[in-house]
């Protein structure tokens, strides 16, 4: 009994001596027996110990002694081989950890200067010297343009375009009613779990009167949704295609910013070349079924199609709203809701379109037509057929693009097969 009492007394004295310090406690969960805390939550609740920032925060912001450690959600930044992919490395990761973790990937390294210490390289000359990292083509190549566009440049440009999207919907102009959220395993059940429409209110007077919205609306009725039925366009409809491209890409600061970037990278020599290539890329016809010239990148992504008895493509929020308003589309549920609190946001949707089901139709919600077109075009030009990693408001956003490989335009350039937000 005396020994037990002495042990308890010692523990109590030790606890008392350390209750106001983070010594040996950094990252621990909340413990109410202590008078102050030593994890990231303490900043929110204003109950950090006085030495938290010295002992815990400064250490957590550095990779010193942490290279290759396992992921810990409590840490504000990370020091493992996956942090470049998720853009959450500590600022000194490349300095302290490359030798430990090993710079064997081009993730986050495209275009870097040559360093003889690295086992493989990610600059424009590595192909010549046969010393590229194995994933160089995944992260650093650009497809048809021949220019090198790095992951960092794509993320930086996407943040700029995000800030320039002044035509996006505000919270008062667009009100959603998402209702049922389902697991990925439930998306194939075709269960209508939402009794009300997804779109509770859209301020058409404010939004649809804007030139880029009006130009997009003029295009939706130009297509036959069933694949296998050849598309043909009148002179008026061809003019509508050109108007849409000029309004979105030449008459907005956002579109001009995209062109300026691609111009400096040597992808296009003039605005005329830029618009002509987008016209072929987006509106050029090819065959998805039975040899008929029945499809294009625009029709597939913005308008949506029916192929094989189900909805194919369909990744535009304005198209969804208009069809739902007319009673031709029935919203069932959503399986993904992005981390953004304002527009644009991303949703993964389940719905029936006049008798045909879409298991997961992801879309950027509330953005302007020029923002949609600019991001998809950027990703298709820079990362054709691959994941394209962007950043919107400091949060990672991924677009998957697909090339159409069965036919081409110009000097072997490939049409857009598909592009959509990754919802997972």
Residues involved in catalysis: 300, 315, 358
Give the integer Cα–Cα distance in Å for 308 and 70: 45
User: 405 — phi, psi (to 5°)?
Assistant: -95, -5
Reading phi first (left if > 0) and then psi (alpha if -120 to 50, else beta), residue 306 is in beta
Whether 287 contacts 293, CB under 8 Å: yes
Contacts with 310 (C-beta within 8 Å, 6 or more apart), sequence order: 356, 357, 358, 359
Name the residue among 365, 391, 366 with its Cα closest to residue 378.
391
Give CA–CA dist 56/330, Å, rounded.
51
CB-based contact 144:102 (threshold 8 Å): no
Distance CA 311, CA 360 (A): 10
Helices marked H in 177-234? 204-207, 211-217
- The neighbouring-strand residues paired with 72 are none
3-state class of 18 per DSSP? helix
DSSP label at residue 35: S
The CA-CA-CA angle for residues 142, 366, 221, to 5°, reads 85
Spatial contact of 286 and 300, defined as CB atoms under 8 Å apart: no
Q: Which residues pair with 398 in a beta bridge?
A: 389
Q: What token pair was written down for 211?
A: 């030139």
Six token digits for residue 217: 């609306």
Strands (E), 84-188: 174-176
Residues 256, 250 contacting (CB under 8 angstroms): yes
């Amino acid at each position: 009994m005396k020994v037990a009492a002495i042990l308890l007394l010692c523990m109590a004295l030790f606890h008392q001596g350390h209750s106001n310090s983070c010594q040996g406690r950094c990252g621990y969960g909340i413990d109410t027996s202590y008078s102050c805390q030593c994890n990231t939550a303490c900043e929110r609740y204003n109950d950090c110990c006085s030495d938290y920032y010295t002992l815990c925060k400064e250490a957590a912001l550095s990779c010193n002694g942490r290279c290759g450690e396992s992921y810990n959600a409590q840490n504000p930044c990370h020091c493992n081989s996956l942090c470049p992919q998720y853009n959450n490395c500590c600022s000194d990761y490349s300095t302290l950890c490359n030798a430990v973790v090993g710079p064997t990937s081009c993730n986050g390294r495209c275009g870097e200067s040559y360093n003889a210490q690295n086992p493989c390289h990610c600059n424009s000359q590595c192909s010549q010297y046969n010393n590229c990292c194995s994933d160089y083509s995944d992260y650093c190549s650009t497809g048809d343009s021949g220019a090198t566009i790095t992951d960092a440049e794509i993320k930086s440009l996407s943040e700029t375009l995000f800030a320039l999207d002044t035509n996006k919907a505000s919270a008062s102009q667009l009100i959603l009613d998402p209702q049922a959220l389902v697991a990925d395993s439930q998306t194939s059940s075709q269960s209508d779990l939402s009794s009300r429409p997804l779109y509770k209110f859209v301020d058409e007077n404010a939004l649809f009167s804007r030139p880029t919205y009006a130009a997009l609306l003029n295009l939706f009725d130009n297509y036959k949704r069933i694949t296998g039925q050849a598309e043909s366009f009148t002179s008026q409809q061809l003019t509508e295609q050109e108007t849409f491209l000029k309004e979105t890409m030449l008459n907005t600061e956002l579109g001009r910013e995209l062109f300026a970037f691609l111009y400096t990278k040597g992808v296009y020599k003039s605005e005329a070349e830029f618009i002509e290539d987008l016209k072929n890329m987006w509106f050029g016809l090819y065959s998805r079924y039975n040899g008929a010239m029945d499809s294009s990148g625009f029709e597939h992504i913005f308008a949506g199609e029916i192929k094989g008895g189900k909805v194919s493509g369909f990744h535009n929020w304005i198209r969804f709203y208009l069809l739902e308003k007319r009673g031709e589309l029935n919203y069932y549920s959503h399986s993904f809701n992005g981390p953004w609190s304002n527009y644009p946001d991303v949703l993964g949707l389940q719905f029936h379109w006049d008798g045909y089901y879409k298991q997961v139709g992801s879309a950027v919600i509330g953005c302007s037509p020029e923002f949609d077109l600019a991001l998809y075009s950027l990703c298709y030009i820079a990362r054709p057929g691959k994941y394209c990693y962007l950043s919107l408001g400091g949060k990672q956003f991924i677009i998957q693009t697909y090339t159409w490989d069965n036919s081409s335009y110009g000097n072997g350039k490939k049409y857009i097969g598909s592009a959509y937000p990754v919802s997972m």
